[in-house]
Structure 1
Amino acid sequence: MTTVPTPADTEAARAGRTWQLGETPWQDLPPLGAPRARVIIDNDFSGDPDDLYQLVHHLLSPSVDIRLVVASHLRPGDPFDPSDSQAGHAAAVARDVFARMGLQSVGVIVEGANSPLADAATPRPAPAVDAIIAEALRDDVETPLFYLAGGGLTDLASAWLQEPRVAERLTLVWIGGAEHEGLAVPPPNAMPIEYNLLIDVTAAQVVFGDSRIPVWQVPRDVYRQCLVSDAELRLRVAATGPLGRHLYDEVAQVMRMVSTFSGGAAETYALGDSPLVLLSALQSVFEPDPTSSRYVARPTPAIGDDGAYIEVPDARPIRVYTWVDTRLMFEDFYLKLAEFDSWQAGADAAEVTA
């Protein structure tokens, strides 16, 4: 239900001060070194607005080198965006975020497929697929590459089907999949197939069961830990300049809609895509890893047509996260947003003075 802007809307919202990826002009003290990892961000930006928070947070994180922002589809007929142009809408939303931030590096935004895989052997062509392969197969860099997916896995699965060598060149961090038996239980009245998995079950079957892509999974029980209160959003997001107010308004729109059929208003919202930032940009200094979060290692399961896990005892290991450091994750976001707004506000002040 993220608002899909028109080009005129985006132009009207454009920030006064501009910058490029690789620059951090809002920081009085410069970053303490070059980015330590490359990332490909893949999200269904025309869906749940939690992905807007994740995108802004990543763009404000100098420890990662953002190579691509893949605008991907939702499931067909999804209530958030029931159109047949979901990837195109997602790209428009991403460009709008860039404009609101004054970020000129729109060339990193690429459209994924508008439909899930037809079968487990046939890739779904899209500009994003070719871009993913090209970045994964680069031989001129040594920094690790993380594929950060907050929705379905169509474009990554397609890239692997087209060029299996990508499995050796990246690590997938995925927000999606149901609870694992023995680690957690489903929430009350849970969807039979978890939301992000339902976007493209076949693609997840390819990535988990057919490929050798290393997977760090943040399943439903863990991304549901990422609750923020409305008070936090009002006082630490909405009150933080035009960008913060836009982020708040997008969530508030969903919360108002949900309240009409869920028995009243809620005071929390799950920013469930934010662990993508925590697990990539906020790793430890020494022996880099997301050391403040917890996971278990087990053989990577296959995934059935019903979304259930199927044990494969000799499979490659998977990290299944069981707890994420929400304090570090959200406090870092609030501070970066405030720091960025102070810099952007300087442009407005200069205009008033002039």
Structure 2
Amino acid sequence: MISFPKITQEKLLQRLAHPTKKVRMVLDTDTYNEIDDQFAVVYALKSPGQLQIEAFYAAPFHNELSDGPADGMEKSYQELQKIAALLPEMSEVPIYRGSTGYLSGAESPQDSDAARNLVERAMASPEDDPLYVVAIGAITNVASAILMEPRIIEKIVVVWLGGHALSWPDTKEFNLAQDLHASRTVLNCGVPLVLIPCMGVTSHLLTTLPEVREFVLDKGEIGKYLYETYEKCAKDHFAYSRVIWDIATIAYLVEESWLPNELVHSPILSEDFRYSYDASRHFIRYVHFVRRDRVFRDFFSKLEG
């Protein structure tokens, strides 16, 4: 049975406080799955004052856009390469392939280049400078790394867009529900975790084609790419808006006040994707609202540079 290091509550709370200096981070993303991942990748790269991106990891996904998790991961890897060709800021950042499947059991990691790189990068992190692991897809790569080397929970902070608001009737959200074992691992192991839910929280991050046309389209090749990506997401844009969920994770690291949050005990995840609660469990940081206009103002402004 895998044993996870127990982080003292004092240290855990320190890690769950908002960072006071530039963040070292990796971004784990199912980039081809939705249009919001591309926006998040660009937002992170356009925030060099707050973020130092050390690596990108391609995450698995399976829906109508892929033949299975392996195909979804490969398509995400190729999409990251496509963005790198358009954005000079990304040219020197390594991109790693992630898992080709989901966890088959609670203690069965999926080996991948991404998981191994995360272990190596995390273990090399100084004690006073944790690596922020920003995850905007299924949490398979991150959970696999934790299972492969449990000591990394003392070296990282996970910021994950996953699940729905704690008040939502269920938490059967795409990122969380794809890999139940991985989601449980991250919620149960004691790793410092910032949980940013979808419905009821980041669902505020709506934008429209006219807004993207006005503030994104003319911002060079990357602006054109983001605009065309948004335009293709729907056949009819009349009275239509789209949630750009994933930029919430980047916005949290840029400015905490845009994403009001609180400390809560890590919820228990059931097999039917519902939360229950136990006040004896460790704390996580939980985001309960997003100031939509502040986030988009920052993102649009940074595209000018």
Give TM-score, length-normalised by structure 2: 0.87
- Among 77, 82, 107, which residue is 2:67 paired with? 82
Match of 1:275 in 2: 248
Match of 1:297 in 2: 263
Residue 103 (structure 1) shift = 4.1
Structure 2 distance, partners of 1:58, 1:325, is 18
Matched, 1:70 2:57: yes
Residue 135 (structure 1) shift = 1.1
Alpha carbons 1:41, 1:69 under 8 Å: kept: yes
Match of 1:326 in 2: 292
What whole-Å deviation, never above 9, does each CA across 1:153-203 have from its counterpart, x for those lacking one? 10111111111111111111111112213xxx45xxxx8721111221110
Match of 1:168 in 2: 154
The alpha-carbon distance between structure 1 residues 192 and 265, as it changes in their structure 2 partners (threshold 3 A), is farther
- Among 205, 210, 213, which residue is 2:191 paired with? 213
- 1:8-23 to 2 correspondences below 5 Å: none
Alpha carbons 2:61, 2:138 under 8 Å: kept: yes
RMSD, aligned CA = 2.0
Alpha carbons 2:195, 2:287 under 8 Å: kept: yes
Structure 2 distance, partners of 1:105, 1:141, is 29
Give SS of 2:232's match.
Answer: helix
Matched, 1:313 2:292: no
Residue 207 (structure 1) shift = 1.0
Match of 1:93 in 2: 79
- 1:115-134 to 2 correspondences below 5 Å: 115-134=101-120
Matched, 1:58 2:44: yes
Structure 2 distance, partners of 1:64, 1:243, is 19
Structure 1 distance, partners of 2:285, 2:171, is 23
The one-letter code sitting in structure 1 at the alignment partner of 2:242 is Y
Structure 2 distance, partners of 1:234, 1:119, is 45
The one-letter code sitting in structure 1 at the alignment partner of 2:52 is D
Give SS of 2:233's match.
Answer: helix
Alpha carbons 2:171, 2:274 under 8 Å: kept: no
The one-letter code sitting in structure 1 at the alignment partner of 2:124 is R
Residue 329 (structure 1) shift = 1.8
- Among 217, 239, 247, which residue is 2:218 paired with? 239
Residue 266 (structure 1) shift = 4.0
Structure 2 distance, partners of 1:309, 1:315, is 13
Match of 1:19 in 2: none
The alpha-carbon distance between structure 1 residues 192 and 136, as it changes in their structure 2 partners (threshold 3 A), is closer
Alpha carbons 2:165, 2:288 under 8 Å: kept: no
What whole-Å deviation, never above 9, does each CA across 1:199-247 have from its counterpart, x for those lacking one? 21110011112x1111111112211111112221111112323221211
Structure 1 distance, partners of 2:104, 2:193, is 23
Structure 2 distance, partners of 1:335, 1:213, is 34
Alpha carbons 2:30, 2:73 under 8 Å: kept: yes
- Among 20, 27, 31, which residue is 1:41 paired with? 27
Structure 2 distance, partners of 1:331, 1:292, is 11
Give SS of 2:28's match.
Answer: strand
Alpha carbons 1:36, 1:143 under 8 Å: kept: no
Alpha carbons 2:29, 2:58 under 8 Å: kept: yes
What whole-Å deviation, never above 9, does each CA across 1:250-291 have from its counterpart, x for those lacking one? 1221122xx5xxxx84431111000111111x13xxxxxx13
Which 5+ residue runs of structure 2 have no aligned equivalent?
1-20
Alpha carbons 1:226, 1:326 under 8 Å: kept: yes
Residue 104 (structure 1) shift = 5.8
Residue 143 (structure 1) shift = 2.8
Alpha carbons 1:46, 1:81 under 8 Å: kept: no
Give SS of 1:121's match.
Answer: coil
Match of 1:26 in 2: none
- Among 244, 251, 256, which residue is 2:230 paired with? 251
The alpha-carbon distance between structure 1 residues 277 and 306, as it changes in their structure 2 partners (threshold 3 A), is same
What whole-Å deviation, never above 9, does each CA across 1:93-119 have from its counterpart, x for those lacking one? 111101111346355211110211011
Structure 2 distance, partners of 1:154, 1:133, is 14
The one-letter code sitting in structure 1 at the alignment partner of 2:240 is E
Structure 1 distance, partners of 2:103, 2:259, is 33
Alpha carbons 2:146, 2:152 under 8 Å: kept: yes
Alpha carbons 2:171, 2:275 under 8 Å: kept: no
Structure 1 distance, partners of 2:37, 2:125, is 30
